Structure 1
């Protein structure tokens, strides 16, 4: 399976390369990356970041214009402080100049649980959340992808249980 080529993904990875906290592709691109092919045209790139790192997002993107979506109202407000991101607000629209745009979705978690945005009584263990995605994606990974991920994990997270699964 060939790797997906996309200027949108390349742009997002380049923009996020120095962000020191976990982030994930979301939405349609996450699905396409998981199955290894582009299924449709994508208007933008959605990235999930844990809400606890919202202040770091504001700092990291301080040179960008940041708006927050107001749930249920279909409008955006300028976002300048952490108070502007109080729940139920979660969607950030980041602009740099006329061309550059990224959408960031703040994702809540409590201890080891990822919380469903619309109902925090629905949750999933973080490890299960990540592990299930990994297990679903593993059969689609060719040897080259497995090797790359294995080497990257050995450098960054040498105790990861995924390393053994990638090499078997």
Structure 2
């Protein structure tokens, strides 16, 4: 179980910065079981540590998503907002999606609304297998934009596994960022 996450953990062992599994895999790590098939695996890192990321991926083919197009990332060019998505592939067939996250003064900042933040010291948890993953409430906030069926499934699977603090933070974040989101119905009651 969680073989892909464990492979990423092994690969990221030499990464000098902070990293954590994001997206649907983070939801599954929080629940403790694989609830669905995953097309890809996403790793969250901090934008200000992208030099360490460039060193780690030096022998990979790396592209950035920029306004809906993929462009080659020349590792010496720093990536600034709004660019936040990196797609890396290796000649051995491995693929990795890296998501750049913002931080300031000891807090994670939501790139779509910097007023929404979370203490860095509490923004990730660790699975039984020792894999760091992004807190599910932060993952769900990201999924609240352009929500797909799999995102609704993720919400429904993880909702019973969220504590009251996690539910409250997500509720307040959605009220501020996506006040008409359907997940608020479950969070308000």
Same fold by TM-score greater than 0.5 = yes
The whole-number CA distance in structure 2 between the counterparts of 1:62 and 1:81 is 8
Identify the residue that residue 121 of structure 2 maps to in structure 1: 127
Name which one, 1 or 2, has greater alpha-carbon Rg. Answer: 1
The whole-number CA distance in structure 2 between the counterparts of 1:82 and 1:114 is 25
Identify the residue that residue 59 of structure 1 maps to in structure 2: 55
Deviations along 1:100-138, one digit per CA (max 9) or x if unpaired, are 1001101100011100011212212223434xx57xx8x
Identify the residue that residue 85 of structure 1 maps to in structure 2: 79
Q: TM-score, normalised by structure 1?
A: 0.70
Which blocks of at least 5 consecutive residues in structure 2 are unaligned?
131-189
Q: Does 1:16 align with 2:1?
A: no
Identify the residue that residue 107 of structure 1 maps to in structure 2: 101
* C-alpha contact 2:2 2:34 (8 A) present in aligned 1: no
The whole-number CA distance in structure 2 between the counterparts of 1:80 and 1:14 is 25
Identify the residue that residue 23 of structure 2 maps to in structure 1: 27
Say what the alpha-carbon RMSD is for the aligned residues: 2.0
Deviations along 1:65-117, one digit per CA (max 9) or x if unpaired, are 111111xx321110013535111101110110262100110110001110001
Structure 1's consecutive aligned runs of 4 or more residues displaced over 3 angstroms after TM superposition are 81-84
Change (3 A) 1:124 1:108: same
* C-alpha contact 2:50 2:78 (8 A) present in aligned 1: no
The structure with higher relative contact order (CA 8 Å, sep 6+) is: 2
Which blocks of at least 5 consecutive residues in structure 1 are unaligned?
138-144, 150-168
The whole-number CA distance in structure 2 between the counterparts of 1:128 and 1:97 is 36
The whole-number CA distance in structure 2 between the counterparts of 1:36 and 1:16 is 21
Q: TM-score, normalised by structure 2?
A: 0.63
